[in-house]
Amino acid sequence: MRTRVFLVDDHELIRAGIRAALADAVEIVGEADEVDAAIAMILERRPDVVLLDVHLPGGGGRAVLAGVHAVDPAIPFLALSVSDAPEDVIALVRAGARGYVTKTIGAADLADAVRTVAGGDVVFSPRLAGFVLDAFRNLPPGTSEDPELESLTPRERQVLRLIARGYSYRDVGTELSVSVKTVESHVSAVLRKLQLSSRHELTHWAHERRLL
Amino acid sequence: MRTRVFLVDDHELIRAGIRAALADAVEIVGEADEVDAAIAMILERRPDVVLLDVHLPGGGGRAVLAGVHAVDPAIPFLALSVSDAPEDVIALVRAGARGYVTKTIGAADLADAVRTVAGGDVVFSPRLAGFVLDAFRNLPPGTSEDPELESLTPRERQVLRLIARGYSYRDVGTELSVSVKTVESHVSAVLRKLQLSSRHELTHWAHERRLL
DNA sequence: GGATCCCTCGGGGATGCCCCCGAGGACGCC
DNA sequence: GGCGTCCTCGGGGGCATCCCCGAGGGATCC
Across chain A, what does the average pLDDT equal?
A: 78
Does B11 have pLDDT greater than 50?
A: yes
Q: What is the pLDDT of residues A57-99, one digit of tens each?
A: 655 677 888 888 877 777 888 888 766 555 566 666 667 777 7
Residue B163 Cα distances to A177, B174, B203, B206, angstroms: 31, 13, 7, 10
Q: What is the pLDDT of residues A151-176, one digit of tens each?
A: 788 889 889 988 988 889 999 999 88
Does A184 have pLDDT greater than 90?
A: yes
Q: Which of A16, A106, A203 sits opposite B20 (nearest CB)?
A: A16
Q: What is the pLDDT of residue A74?
A: 77
Does B56 have pLDDT greater than 80?
A: no
**CB contact, 8 Å: B16 with chain A?**
yes
CA triple A78-A84-A89, angle to 5 deg: 55
**CB contact, 8 Å: B25 with chain A?**
no
- CA nearest neighbour of B145 among B180, B198, B188, B95: B95
**CB contact, 8 Å: A108 with chain B?**
no
Nucleotides of C under 7 A from a protein CB: 5-12, 16-22
Q: What is the pLDDT of residue B91?
A: 65
pLDDT tier for residue A125 given thresholds of 50, 70 and 90: low
Q: What is the pLDDT of residues B59-108, one digit of tens each?
A: 567 788 888 887 777 788 888 876 655 556 666 666 777 777 877 677 77
Contacts of A19 in chain B (CB under 8 A): 20
Residue B116 Cα distances to A206, B107, B113, angstroms: 43, 14, 5
Q: What is the pLDDT of residues B99-153, one digit of tens each?
A: 778 776 777 778 878 877 776 666 666 555 555 544 443 333 333 445 567 778 8
Q: In chain B, what are the domains?
A: 4-136 (3.40.50.2300), 147-208 (1.10.10.10)
CA quadruple B30, B31, B32, B37: dihedral, nearest 10? 0
Q: What is the pTM of this model?
A: 0.45
Which residue of B lies nearest to A105 if distances are taken between CA atoms? Answer: B12
**CB contact, 8 Å: A14 with chain B?**
yes
Residues with Cβ within 8 Å of B148's Cβ and at least 6 positions away in sequence, in order, are B193, B194
In the structure, how far is the CA atom of residue A151 from the C1' atom of nucleotide C28, in angstroms?
A: 19
